Amino acid sequence: MSTRAGGRPRASEAAGASGMGTLVVLALVAGALVVGALVGVMATGGFSRSPSAAPSPSVPSTVAPARSITASSALTTTTSGAVASSTTAALATTTSTSKAQAAAKLVSQVSLKPPNGAIHQSPSTVVTLHAPPGAHLVAVAVTRAGGGPPLAGALGASGGQWTATGTLLPGTTYTVRYEVGNSELTAYGSASFTTAAPKVVLSVASLFPTPGIVVGIGQPIVIYFSRPVDTYAAQQAVLSHLHLAMSKPVPGGWHWFSSVELHFRPDHFWPVGEQVELTGNLSGWDVGGGVWGEGSLATAFVVGASHVTVVDVAAHKMTVYDNGKPVYNWPISAGATKWPTQDGVHIVLDREGKVQMISSTVGIPVKSPGGYDEAVYWDVHISSSGEYVHAAPWDLAEQGYVNISHGCVNISPPRAETFFMFSRVGDVVKVVNSSRAPIMGDQGVMDWSFPNSTVIWTPATVSKLTSSVSVSPTTSSPPPAGAPYSPSTLPPA
- pLDDT tens per residue across all 493 residues of the chain: 433 334 433 333 333 444 434 433 333 333 433 333 333 333 333 333 333 333 433 333 333 333 332 333 322 222 333 334 444 444 455 677 888 999 999 999 999 999 999 999 988 899 999 999 999 999 999 999 988 899 999 999 999 999 999 989 899 999 999 999 999 999 999 999 999 988 888 999 999 999 999 999 999 999 999 999 999 999 999 999 999 999 999 999 999 999 999 999 999 999 999 999 999 999 888 888 888 998 999 999 999 999 999 999 999 999 999 999 999 999 999 999 999 999 999 999 999 999 999 988 878 899 888 888 999 999 999 999 999 999 999 999 999 999 999 999 999 999 999 999 999 999 999 999 999 999 999 999 999 999 999 999 999 999 999 999 999 876 566 667 776 655 444 444 3
Nearest to 394 by CA among 370, 412, 380, 382: 412
State the pLDDT at residue 485. Answer: 57
List 316, 381, 406, 408, catalytic entry: 408
Whole-model pTM: value is 0.71
State the pLDDT at residue 64. Answer: 36
> Helix, strand or coil for residue 393?
helix
Q: List, in sequence order, every beta strand (DSSP E) within 104-160.
A: 111-113, 118-121, 128-130, 136-144, 153-155
- Run of H or E including 419: helix 413-422
List 316, 381, 390, 406, catalytic entry: 390
State the pLDDT at residue 234. Answer: 92
Q: Is 381 a catalytic residue?
A: no
* DSSP H helices in 131-245: 232-237
State the pLDDT at residue 486. Answer: 54
Q: Is 241 a catalytic residue?
A: no
Three-state secondary structure readout of 71-90: HHHHCCCCCCCCHHHHHHHH
> Which phi and psi (to 5°) does residue 309 adopt?
-115, 135
- Run of H or E including 25: helix 11-43
**Sequence-separated contacts (24+) of 252-257 with Cβ below 8 Å:** 252/457, 252/459, 252/460, 252/462, 253/457, 253/458, 253/459, 253/460, 254/457, 254/458, 254/460, 255/455, 255/456, 255/457, 255/458, 256/229, 257/441, 257/446
